[in-house]
Amino acid sequence: MSEKFVHADPVCPPPRLMLKAIAQFLRTAWRGLQPDIPPPVAPVAPTVPGDLGGGARQLLHLFEHSASGLLTCDRSGTVLLCNPVAAALLAAEPEAVCGHPIERWLAPLIDCSQPESHSLVSGQWETLAQRADGSEFPVELTVSDAVLDGVRQFILIMRDITDRKLTQERLSFLANFDSLTGLPNRVLFRDRLSQAMARARRSGEPMALMFLDLDHFKVINDSLGHAVGDQLLRQVAEALKHCLRMSDSVARVGGGDTFTVSRLGGDEFTVIAEHLGSAEDAALIARRILDALEAPIQLMEHELHVSGSIGISMYPTERMDQDTDLDGLVRHTDMAMYRAKAMGRGTYAFFSDELSAEVAARLMLENQLRRALERQEFTLFYQPKANVHTGEVTGVEALIRWRAPGRGLVPPDRFIRVLEDSGLILPVGAWAIRTACAEIAAWDRAGMPPLTLAVNLSARQFRQPYLARFIEDALAESGIHPQRLELELTESLLMEDNVATNSVLAALAQMGVRVAMDDFGTGHSSLSYLKRFDIDTLKIDRSFVSALPDDPEDTAIATAIVAMGHSLHMKVVAEGVETAEQAECLRQMGCDEIQGYLLSRPLPPDAIVDWLNRRLQEQALRDSAYGWTDSGPMTLLTLESLEPFEDTGPMR
Per residue in 481-510, pLDDT (tens digit) is 999 999 998 876 766 556 677 888 889 999
How many CB atoms sit inside 10 A of residue 165's CB? Answer: 14
CA pair distance 233, 285, nearest whole angstrom: 20
Are 371 and 405 within 8 A, CB to CB? no
Closest CA to 649 of 399, 450, 453, 286: 399
Query: Is residue 80 domain-shared with residue 195, that is, in the same domain?
Result: no
Q: Which of 111, 141, 165 is the last residue of a domain?
A: 165
Q: Give pLDDT, residue 623.
A: 46
Per residue in 235-244, pLDDT (tens digit) is 888 888 888 8
Per residue in 180-203, pLDDT (tens digit) is 888 888 888 999 999 999 998 888
Share of the chain above pLDDT 70, in %: 77
pLDDT at 232 over 60: yes
Query: Residue 546's beta-bridge partner residues?
Result: none
Query: Is residue 306 domain-shared with residue 159, that is, in the same domain?
Result: no
Mean pLDDT of 121-141: 90
Mean pLDDT of 466-479: 93
pLDDT at 454 over 50: yes
CATH number at residue 577: 3.20.20.450
The count of residues in the chain is 652
User: Confidence class of residue 42 from pLDDT cuts 50, 70 and 90?
Assistant: very low
Query: Does the residue 369 lie in any domain?
Result: no
Contacts of 569 (CB under 8 A, 6+ apart): none
Range of the domain at 331: 177-355
Query: Is residue 81 domain-shared with residue 38, that is, in the same domain?
Result: yes
Query: Is residue 347 domain-shared with residue 448, that is, in the same domain?
Result: no
Q: What's the number of domains the chain is made of? A: 3
Query: Is residue 380 domain-shared with residue 350, that is, in the same domain?
Result: no
CATH number at residue 149: 3.30.450.20
Query: Residue 151's beta-bridge partner residues?
Result: 148
Query: Does the residue 1 lie in any domain?
Result: no
Query: Is residue 189 domain-shared with residue 147, that is, in the same domain?
Result: no
- Does the N-terminal peptide bond of residue 465 adopt cis geometry, omega within 30 degrees of 0? no
Dihedral pair phi/psi, residue 595, rounded to 5°: -150, 135
CA pair distance 313, 5, nearest whole angstrom: 69
User: Confidence class of residue 341 from pLDDT cuts 50, 70 and 90?
Assistant: confident
CA pair distance 347, 356, nearest whole angstrom: 15
Mean pLDDT of 365-372: 90
Mean pLDDT of 274-278: 87
pLDDT at 252 over 60: no
Query: Does the residue 263 lie in any domain?
Result: yes
Query: Is residue 447 domain-shared with residue 590, that is, in the same domain?
Result: yes
pTM of model > 0.75: no
pLDDT at 652 over 70: no
User: Confidence class of residue 152 from pLDDT cuts 50, 70 and 90?
Assistant: confident
Per residue in 17-35, pLDDT (tens digit) is 555 555 565 555 445 444 4
CA pair distance 369, 375, nearest whole angstrom: 10
Query: Does the residue 608 lie in any domain?
Result: yes
Q: Give pLDDT, residue 228.
A: 86
Q: Give pLDDT, residue 473.
A: 94
Q: Give pLDDT, residue 321.
A: 54
Q: H or E stretch including 231? A: helix 226-243
User: Confidence class of residue 604 from pLDDT cuts 50, 70 and 90?
Assistant: very high
Query: Is residue 388 domain-shared with residue 310, that is, in the same domain?
Result: no
Query: Is residue 402 domain-shared with residue 330, that is, in the same domain?
Result: no
Query: Is residue 22 domain-shared with residue 148, that is, in the same domain?
Result: yes
Amino acid at 196: A
The residue with greater pLDDT, 528 or 347, is 347
Query: Is residue 161 domain-shared with residue 188, that is, in the same domain?
Result: no
